[in-house]
Amino acid sequence: MTKDSAGLPTGAPAKPLRILHIDSEKSWRGGQQQVFSLMQGLRERGHEQALVTPLQSHLGVRAREAGFRVDEYELAGWYDPRVFGFFKQVFAGFPPDIVHAHSGNAHSIAHMTCRKTHPIVVTRRVDFAVKKNALSLWRYRSPGTRYVAISRAVKQVLVNAGVPEDRITIVHSGVDPSRASGGVGTALRPTFLGDREGPVVGYVGAIVDHKNPLLLAEAARIIDRDLPGLRVIYVGSGPIQETPEWAEKVRSTPSLFHEAGWRADVAEVFASLDIFVMPSVEEGLCTSLLDAQAAGVPCIITAAGGMVEIVQDGVNGLVVPSRDANALGRAILRLAGDETLRASFRAAGPEVVREKFTLDAMVAGNEAHYMKIRADVQSGRFRGIAPRTQPHPEG
């Protein structure tokens, strides 16, 4: 197999693999987009794949439309006794070499149904601490499970939970650099600005607790007098929007804040922003930050999780402490008032993405992980599954 300049395999492998992907989410968020892109990339490299997902999930619908085999389930959870019969049928119709779980519940399902019969790969995308109860630790420390961590921060969480480092491979999430770039902003910027003059500061992502979107609202209120044209845009949706705190800090001031909801025209969204802010408390990596970087939007982040592996303070963005509204406000003022700094960030961001965070690199990294597992199985070094049920050396 040929390798690229980074030592990752390119092109079709000598012997394709059969990979069963499991994702337990019905929504269409960053994780599901990564799974779909991974499946498409692996198919281009010659691998055969199938997907297990809940009934009527967005990922399942898209995967079936793209021509993949999709098996859907209606289960109460990994503890549902019907899970064993369901997966017996799945394995009969698609006997895999590797089972790849892409979410927490998918990890539990794979662990319960095939930990002794198939190598399991689990992609962990969040940097939340692993629960320390006996059931959780038993699952995470299973000898037949290998991990893909999307950042060093996520890897450290796994190590802290007792997962041996040699079972963990870091493969960053990736984006298509062209997806978020190329917009002109003329369609959305007037709506985003309202009766203000700018700058337009945007948050793009799920509006959930760990991303701490209200910190941006607090910072904007602090600096509104110093930057009277400021307009803050929230692109996305989530449960926080139904809370009294959101009503008080965001909806009470529609001249300063605009809720745009989810939008499919990603390139136009980013072309309309002067500054992108992601104020997370915990963050595995953040694909919306990667999109912003690819689009050349000057970025401000908090020092949370894997985001600091994307943004180097002063080089391709600004980094401020988590939960510090005053520091975030100062960073917005600094960036809004320094066109030279914004220009340098606009130039540096796309280059960072092209060098380290593309979909091709993500697919190649996962493929290399699979191939190592297969080699370990064939050589007898993989000790996590019963020898009589290990995949055939020919896959």
| 361-377 average pLDDT score | 96
- What is the per-residue pLDDT for 23? 97
Q: What is the percent of the chain with per-residue pLDDT over 70, rounded to a whole number?
A: 94
- 18-174+358-389, superfamily in CATH? Glycogen Phosphorylase B; (3.40.50.2000)
Report domain extents, the chain. Answer: 18-174+358-389, 189-356
Strands 98-101 and 18-22: parallel
Q: Residue 7: pLDDT band by 50, 70, 90 thresholds?
A: very low
Least confident span in 11-20, 83-92, 108-117, 180-189: 11-20
256: tokens are 């300063």
pLDDT at 2: 46
Three-class SS string for 276-316?
EEECCCCCCCCHHHHHHHHCCCCEEEECCHHHHHCCCECCC
Q: What is the pLDDT of residue 315?
A: 98
**pLDDT over threshold 90, residue 383:** no
pLDDT classification of 386: cutoffs 50, 70, 90: low
Averaged pLDDT, 272-289: 97
With 0-12 / 13-18 / 19 or more C-beta atoms within 10 angstroms meaning exposed / middle / buried, residue 145 is buried
Within the chain, residue ranges assigned H as helices are 30-44, 58-65, 82-93, 104-114, 134-140, 152-160, 189-193, 213-223, 244-246, 266-271, 287-294, 325-336, 339-356, 359-379
Please report the pLDDT score of residue 379 as a whole number: 85
Mean pLDDT of 281-308: 97
Q: Work out the average pLDDT over 183-201.
A: 93
Q: Do domains 18-174+358-389 and 189-356 have the same CATH topology?
A: yes
The confidence score (pLDDT) of residue 228 equals 92
93, 73 Cβ separation under 8 angstroms? no
For residue 3, name the pLDDT band (cuts at 50, 70, 90).
very low
Q: Tell me, what's the pLDDT at 15?
A: 87
Mean pLDDT, the chain, integer: 92
CA distances from 163 to 61, 151, 300 (A): 34, 15, 33
Check pLDDT > 70 for residue 321: yes
| pLDDT, mean of residues 71-81 | 88
Average of per-residue pLDDT across 88-115: 95
Give residue-wise pLDDT tens across range 162-180. Answer: 999 999 999 999 999 999 9
The mean per-residue pLDDT over the stretch 337-341 comes to: 98
Q: CATH topology for 189-356? A: Rossmann fold (3.40.50)
Q: Is the pLDDT of residue 392 over 70?
A: no
Task: Report the b/e string of 265-286 with b at 16+ CB within 10 A.
Answer: ebbbbbbbbbbbbbbbebbbbb
Structural tokens at position 32: 């599901």
Q: If you search the block for the tokens 């389930």, which residue do you land on?
A: 73
Query: pLDDT digit string (tens) for 18-67?
Result: 999 999 999 998 999 999 999 999 999 999 999 999 999 999 999 999 99
For residue 11, the model assigns a pLDDT of: 52
pLDDT at 343 over 60: yes
**pLDDT, average across residues 91-102:** 97
3-class DSSP state for residue 106? helix
165, HSE (Cβ side, Cα atoms, 13 Å): 2
